């Protein structure tokens, strides 16, 4: 690219001549505003150059900001918060991601956004250095979006998808409606190569073709009556009959044996229904808020693997697993906030939650000819119930015009009972303090130091034994699992670069007790199973650099480069070898991404490239390592023929990158191995192409419908 001739480097960007966040180039001089002493605001005009269609498009273009979706599987509200609020309030839904919530808000309804430290938005955000507040227009009217797309897979198959949303505003009342097909299909092909680790001799070769469909149609609606910050009523509901369907053709060539044509089927149904709401009223110089939410999820799973003769004519054997589960959550939260109580901001509240899981597993082996024989797993029928309560208080004070201190204390109580194939009753109690020091210096400098104690939540499904037929293994259940406890230390420093760009450095250290990982458990007959369990003390260190730089000042008008890079190190003692190793799971030692975008009057184009180091699941019977075959890339070209219309052509997996997996499997386990196999898996869905049409309608909100480039 021509940009190379400027001698531009990421280091140069990070030390470039900085301007305050209020400065802009070209025609957007007033687009960035100092919304308050502790926030940076961006009017809707700032995003004109990107021609956004919804609030998600806007959030993705906020300088230096990266969406944190939170964890929707966390019970209760606190861990699911993410880092976005709407009109100063967190979304009460837990069944849809922040991306989905933002995507159904038309861009024309966004008056401005503000980025500030988390303490401005409530106790659950207090230790976050950045939270995005999406402020909607109070103007009346109807606005909406309709999106239709088709994707051509590498085989030539075309997959359609469509969604629509509308926002209706009348006075203080707002109705938001959305629906979509949620239709995603991927096709991939690849191989498995099984070898003897000692000799390298080939044991078996497999040629595989996978088709997997995520079909998640949905309907959602919300209503809000927002008369003031301390006087509001909100209701929301969502229903989705989710489904995942996978089929696999597998031609197997064993060394010294007959070839086979095996097949795998996964038919997973995941319907979810949710209804919630909140009420806010003034009280004692502050505001009291009551939030309620009820979520109902089902799991109806069929998984089957069959060994068949070459050509598929005769059944030689196989396995089948049926899972039937009902997962319910009901939450009620009451909190009171006051921004100034003798010079302090105060928030206090209590949250109660009832969570239940009723789960049954049936596991069968097929004999030659197809006769099924049921196999009992250690814990395959259980009901788990948790009654959970958490009380909290947070107090903050502005120590000077530049420095603020916030302190919080949470107390968590949980009673968990397990019935069925095993019986267990446990009561857990945890204190969770936090402390945050926030500094807002001159010339756009911002820093934050924080420390907090975080307690993980148990995954109820870890209590149940299940099989994974796609990888030929059984996971044991462990009802004695306890949540890991982590002291999290964080430091952040950020500064504007090249006008409205931003450079941000995040440093972190985690000290983890009772680290949740994998352990070896035995049933009553002495059979060993790999299962979730607790290790000793673990440590994590990381450094993350974010650079978001407009290059207009360097002679590249309309070009913006974003870089994200992270280095991390995790260490814990392995329960079998006694040696220190990384944490199991997605903890790569390094990862990075570069996003380059060029916006013109009617066109935009860009490319995203990312890569990461390999990461390993250290199971008690295998080392399961995942890595990419190289950097992964995607690109797009966008055309805006008229206001409100966007046509986007995109290329996914532009470099034809494979996803690779290496499994070193020990028999029966790593503690007492008598044999091992090395299995290398390579999968590739190859380059695929997409065409998307987005049409916006309405003219409310910021007055111009959808913003267009200058």
- Asked whether the beta carbons of 535 and 572 are under 8 A apart, the reply is yes
pLDDT in tens, 381-398: 999 999 999 999 999 999
* Position 380 in a domain: yes
- Asked whether the beta carbons of 355 and 460 are under 8 A apart, the reply is yes
Q: Residue 593 and residue 611: Cα distance in Å, rounded?
A: 7
Give me the residue label for tokens 């919530």. 101
Q: What band does 592 get if pLDDT is binned at 50, 70 and 90?
A: very high
- DSSP type of residue 704: T
pLDDT value, residue 393: 97
How far apart, in Å, do the first and last CA atoms of the chain sit? 25
* Position 105 in a domain: no
Residue 20 has pLDDT above 50, yes or no: no
Q: Residue 78 and residue 123: Cα distance in Å, rounded?
A: 9
Ranges 7-21, 64-78, 89-103, 111-125: which has the least confidence: 7-21
pLDDT in tens, 639-668: 999 989 999 999 999 999 999 999 999 999
Residue 672 has pLDDT above 50, yes or no: yes
* Position 108 in a domain: no
Residue 215 has pLDDT above 90, yes or no: yes
- The whole domain housing 415 covers 139-698
Q: Residue 124 and residue 78: Cα distance in Å, rounded?
A: 6
Rg, the chain, Cα only: 27
Q: What band does 29 get if pLDDT is binned at 50, 70 and 90?
A: very low
pLDDT value, residue 75: 63
* Position 111 in a domain: no
Structurally, how many domains does the chain consist of?
Answer: 1
Q: How many CB atoms lie within 10 A of CB 349?
A: 22
* Position 172 in a domain: yes
- φ and ψ of 367, to 5 deg: -80, 170
Q: Residue 313 and residue 319: Cα distance in Å, rounded?
A: 17
Residue of 3, 15, 1 lying closest to 547 (CA atoms): 15
Residue 246 has pLDDT above 70, yes or no: yes
Task: Look up residue 183 and give its two tokens.
Answer: 């239709």
Mean pLDDT across the stretch 619-628?
97
* Position 134 in a domain: no
pLDDT value, residue 407: 97
pLDDT in tens, 268-295: 999 999 999 999 999 999 999 999 999 9
Residue 27 has pLDDT above 50, yes or no: no
SS3 state at 119: helix
Residue 704 has pLDDT above 70, yes or no: no
Share of the chain above pLDDT 70, in %: 91
pLDDT in tens, 132-154: 999 988 888 999 999 999 999 99
Residue of 321, 394, 445, 349 lying closest to 77 (CA atoms): 349
Residue 710 has pLDDT above 50, yes or no: no
Ranges 51-55, 93-97, 257-261, 300-304: which has the least confidence: 93-97
Give me the residue label for tokens 């069929």. 302
- Asked whether the beta carbons of 448 and 406 are under 8 A apart, the reply is no
Residue 112 has pLDDT above 60, yes or no: yes
pLDDT value, residue 526: 81
pLDDT value, residue 474: 87
Which CATH number characterizes residue 147's domain? Answer: 2.40.170.20
- DSSP type of residue 513: E
For the whole model, what pTM was predicted? 0.87
pLDDT in tens, 456-511: 988 889 989 998 988 888 888 998 899 999 999 999 999 999 999 999 999 999 99
Q: How many CB atoms lie within 10 A of CB 340?
A: 10
* Position 11 in a domain: no
DSSP string for 388-410: EEEEEEEEEEE-SSSEEEEEEEE
* Position 229 in a domain: yes
């Amino acid at each position: 690219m021509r940009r190379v001739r400027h001698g531009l480097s990421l280091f140069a960007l990070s030390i470039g001549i900085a301007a305050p966040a209020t400065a802009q180039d070209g025609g957007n001089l007033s687009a960035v505003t100092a919304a308050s002493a502790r926030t940076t605001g961006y009017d809707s005009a700032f995003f004109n150059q990107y021609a956004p269609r919804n609030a998600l498009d806007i959030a993705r273009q906020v300088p230096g900001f990266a969406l944190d979706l939170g964890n929707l599987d966390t019970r209760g509200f606190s861990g699911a918060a993410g880092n976005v609020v709407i009109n100063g309030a967190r979304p009460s839904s837990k069944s849809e991601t922040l991306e989905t919530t933002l995507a159904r808000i038309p861009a024309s309804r966004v008056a401005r956004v503000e980025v500030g430290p988390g303490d401005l938005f409530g106790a659950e955000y207090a230790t976050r250095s950045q939270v995005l507040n999406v402020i909607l227009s109070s103007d009346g009217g109807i606005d909406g979006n309709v999106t239709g797309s088709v994707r051509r897979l590498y085989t030539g198959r075309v997959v359609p998808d469509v969604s629509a949303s509308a926002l209706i505003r009348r006075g203080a009342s707002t109705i938001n409606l959305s629906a979509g097909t949620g239709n995603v299909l991927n096709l991939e092909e690849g191989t498995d190569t099984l070898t003897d680790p000692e000799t390298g001799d080939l044991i078996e070769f497999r040629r595989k073709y996978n088709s997997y469909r995520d079909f998640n149609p949905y309907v959602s609606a919300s209503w809000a009556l927002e008369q003031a910050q301390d006087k509001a009523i909100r209701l929301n509901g969502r229903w989705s009959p989710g489904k995942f369907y996978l089929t696999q053709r597998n031609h197997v060539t064993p060394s010294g044996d007959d070839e086979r044509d095996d097949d795998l089927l996964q038919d997973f149904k995941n319907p979810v229904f949710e209804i919630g709401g909140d009420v806010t009223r003034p009280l004692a110089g502050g505001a009291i808020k009551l939030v309620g939410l009820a979520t109902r999820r089902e799991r109806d799973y069929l998984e089957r693997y069959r060994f068949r003769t070459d050509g598929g004519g005769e059944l030689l054997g196989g396995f089948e697993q049926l899972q039937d589960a009902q997962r319910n959550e009901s939450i009620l939260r009451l909190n009171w906030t006051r921004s100034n109580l003798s010079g302090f901001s105060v928030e206090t509240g209590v949250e109660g939650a009832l969570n239940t899981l009723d789960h049954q597993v049936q596991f069968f082996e097929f004999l030659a000819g197809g006769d099924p024989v049921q196999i009992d797993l250690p814990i395959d029928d259980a009901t788990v119930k948790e009654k959970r309560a958490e009380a909290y208080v947070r107090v903050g004070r502005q120590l000077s015009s530049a420095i603020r201190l916030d302190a919080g204390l949470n107390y968590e109580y949980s009673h968990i009972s397990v019935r069925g194939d095993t019986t267990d009753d446990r009561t857990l109690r945890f204190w969770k303090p936090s402390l945050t020091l926030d500094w807002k210096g001159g010339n756009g400098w911002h820093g934050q130091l924080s420390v907090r104690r975080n307690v993980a939540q148990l995954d109820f499904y870890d209590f149940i034994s299940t099989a994974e037929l796609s990888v030929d293994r059984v996971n044991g259940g462990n009802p004695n699992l306890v949540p890991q406890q982590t002291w999290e230390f964080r430091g952040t420093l950020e500064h504007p670069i090249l006008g409205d760009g931003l450079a941000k450095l995040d440093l972190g250290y985690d000290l983890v007790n009772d680290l949740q990982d994998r352990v070896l458990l035995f049933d009553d007959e002495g059979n060993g199973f790999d299962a979730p369990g607790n290790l000793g003390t673990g440590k994590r260190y990381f450094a993350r650099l974010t650079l978001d730089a407009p290059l207009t000042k360097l002679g590249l008008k309309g070009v913006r480069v974003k870089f994200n890079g992270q280095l991390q190190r995790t260490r814990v003692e392995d329960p079998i070898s006694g040696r220190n190793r990384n944490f199991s799971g997605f903890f790569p030692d390094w990862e990075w991404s570069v996003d380059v975008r060029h916006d013109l009057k009617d066109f935009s184009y860009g490319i995203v490239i990312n890569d990461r180091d390999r990461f390993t699941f250290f199971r008690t019977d295998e080392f399961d390592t995942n890595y990419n075959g190289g950097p992964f890339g995607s690109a797009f070209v966008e055309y805006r023929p008229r206001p409100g219309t966007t046509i986007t052509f995109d290329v996914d997996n532009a470099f034809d990158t494979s996803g690779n997996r290496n499994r070193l499997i020990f028999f029966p386990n790593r503690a007492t191995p008598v044999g091992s196999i090395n299995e290398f898996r390579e999968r590739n869905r190859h380059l695929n192409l997409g065409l998307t049409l987005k049409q916006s309608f309405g003219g409310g909100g910021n007055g111009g419908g959808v913003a267009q480039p200058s």
